[in-house]
Amino acid sequence: MKIEHVAFQVADPAAMAAWYVEHLGFTIRRSGEGPAFGRFLADGSGCVMLELYRNPAAPVPDYRSIDPILLHVAFVCDDLPATVDRLVVAGAERLSGPSQSGGDQFAMLRDPWGLAIQLVRRAEPML
């Protein structure tokens, strides 16, 4: 088995998807209209997707209130300082880093909708 996608109930899937496309290099693989306005976004490898949707039958989690230790999406990143600066200019909130641990570099941010995103550069790639 392999992971196809991880799904997030969000307030504005279309706007969030556009931000991920513009600033994180995702591509939209599938797009739906109301009521859910779902978007399937493929990462740069084309092997994993995020689904962003808004199902009116369920509440949108308050991602800003969820500790990033409990929930975050991690992205491989070659240049953490420059990427952190670029994403902050684009509306992300810097929470911590860049910092280093055991040769790995990390930074934690929140996207403009409050979902925690981690940037990581591993000394030894895990994938």
Chain position carrying tokens 């992300």: 92
Q: Indicate if 72 and 48 belong to the same structural domain.
A: no
Q: In this structure, is residue 102 part of a structural domain?
A: yes
Of the three residues 16, 32, 53, the one that is the final residue of a domain is 53
Cα(61)–Cα(84) distance, integer angstroms: 25
Whether residue 59 lies inside any domain: the answer is: no
- Count of domains forming the chain: 2
Q: What is the pLDDT along the chain (127 residues), one digit of tens a residue?
A: 989 999 999 999 999 999 999 999 999 999 988 778 899 999 988 889 999 999 999 999 999 999 999 999 999 999 999 999 999 999 999 999 999 999 999 999 999 999 999 999 999 988 8
Q: What SS3 state is found at 28?
A: strand
- H/E run at residue 81: helix 80-89
Q: Is the pTM above the cut of 0.85?
A: yes
Together in a domain, 41 and 10: yes
